[in-house]
Structure 1
Amino acid sequence: MSSHQAEASQHPNKLLLLETAREFFAEVENLTPGKNLENHLNKNYGPGTKYYDRFASLIRQGIENNEGWAATDELDGPKYRRSRLLAPCAESRYFSITTVYMESEEEYSGQYHQHPYGEINCVIQLTPGAELMGMSGWQGAGWTSPGPGTHHYPLVRKGAVVALFFLPAGRISYTATPDMPQPITI
């Protein structure tokens, strides 16, 4: 058992999520974040598929049962929380794994940030009809995948979602500003 598994073993659902992510990464590790990957993920890995349903079930259990590992660190009170589950490592093919909980009936904006190497983001609805704004528009249950260099405010509306996101090399930047141009391809 690795040190990551030993740490996660205190939360069995977290360990199952990390194991599921490791299997998922084996399938998508050579795909580049962006619109094409987002379309591919929503077509082949969306709700009703093995990986999406497993991620969604484990995240819901972690949040609803208050297991202490999924989106526990408050950024703006209980409506905007985050937890880094795993730093980039060989086991995760050098993706980091983070959960972000956002909740609002009206549009609510999180921290402005940039994805230097892009992002793969599994959107899990905790409230039916809740949506997260991706680079391609509003997304309910499914996936967003902002491409390398993109930047934005994460937005939520119509309830609560958890964004289970995977960052290549764990890269995220909080120095981007809204006036910066987006890359040519999003």
Structure 2
Amino acid sequence: MSPQDFRRLIAGVTAQLDGRPLDASLAGWLNATWPAGSATYGELADACRAGVAEGWLCNREHGGIRFGRVIKPTPETHGFSVDVVDMQDMAGPHHVHPHGEIDLIMPLSDGATFDGHPAGWCVYGPGSAHRPTVAHGQALVLYLLPQGAIEFTHGASAA
């Protein structure tokens, strides 16, 4: 899996998301269309695991969280940026999603959750905020951010 192949895979996904509102109905659609165990979910998870193993995904680390923005928002990705994080039993820094956030949760440990969600998709609407938390083990989480927009809360800690 090369970064270029990964970009093409992501572009195929974001083409289906282009213009859709980021809300609970989108989360339902994603989990019905590409649920954990589906071919597309498997391709994305395999690509993320390969990218981490090859060193071009999650190539930065801070406070025990491995992360990295692998794709900036471009027309090819329909205005979405792509970040991937690798977390284990911890909470990350509090942040706001000005335009929303779409998350693909890929547990690396059986039973690992992200913000209480198991393997699959979750969607945060525009203006939402959270402290991303992986519990019950280790997980990779792929973040799709419209226009790459994210605002970290000043003074928030990752503890």
TM over 0.5: yes
The 5-angstrom pairing of residues 7-18 of structure 1 reads 12-18=1-7
Residue 70 of structure 1 pairs with residue 52 of structure 2 = no
Q: Deviation digits for residues 132-160 of structure 1, max 9, x if unmatched? A: 00xxxx11110011000000100111111
**Structure 1 residues 177 and 39 mapped into 2: Cα distance closer, same or farther (>3 Å)?**
farther
Deviation at 1:29, TM superposition (A): 0.9
Question: Cα–Cα, structure 1 residues 169 and 58, in superposed 2: closer, same or farther, change >3 Å?
Answer: same
Of 70, 77, 80 in structure 2, the residue corresponding to residue 95 of structure 1 is 80
CA distance in 2, matches of 1:57, 1:40: 22
Q: Is the contact between residue 114 and residue 176 of structure 1 (CA under 8 Å) also seen in structure 2?
A: no
SS at match of 2:85: strand
The Cα of 1:50 is off from its aligned counterpart by: 3.0
Where do 5+ consecutive residues of structure 1 fail to align?
1-11, 179-186
Aligned mates of 2:18, 2:39 — CA distance in 1: 17
**Aligned to 1:128, what secondary structure does the other structure show?**
coil
Cα shift at 1:14: 2.7
Pair 1:119 & 2:97 matched: no
User: How far apart in 2 are the matches of 1:128 and 1:13?
Assistant: 27
More strand by proportion, 1 or 2? 2
Contact 1:75–1:81, Cα closer than 8 Å, also in 2: yes
Letter in 2 for 1:61: A
1:131 matched to 2:113: yes
Q: What does residue 81 of structure 1 align with?
A: 66
Aligned to 2:135, which of 152, 157, 164? 157
Give the residue type in structure 2 aligned to 1:116.
P
Q: Which moved more, 1:53-62 or 1:42-51?
A: 42-51
Take 1:102 and 1:116, find their aligned partners in 2: how far apart are those partners?
A: 23
The CA RMSD over aligned residues, in Å, is 1.6
- TM-score, normalised by the number of residues in structure 2: 0.91
Q: Tell me: CA distance 1:52–1:176, structure 2 relative to 1, closer, same or farther (3 Å).
A: farther
**Quick check: 1:114–1:150 contact (8 Å CA) kept in 2?**
yes
Match of 1:32 in 2: 21
Alignment match of 2:145 (pick from 164, 167, 171): 167
Bigger Rg, structure 1 or 2: 1
Question: What corresponds to 1:41 in structure 2?
Answer: 30
Equivalent residue letter for 2:75: A
Structure 2, unpaired ranges of 5+? none
Give me the whole-angstrom Cα distance separating, in 1, the residues matched to 2:108 and 2:49. Answer: 7
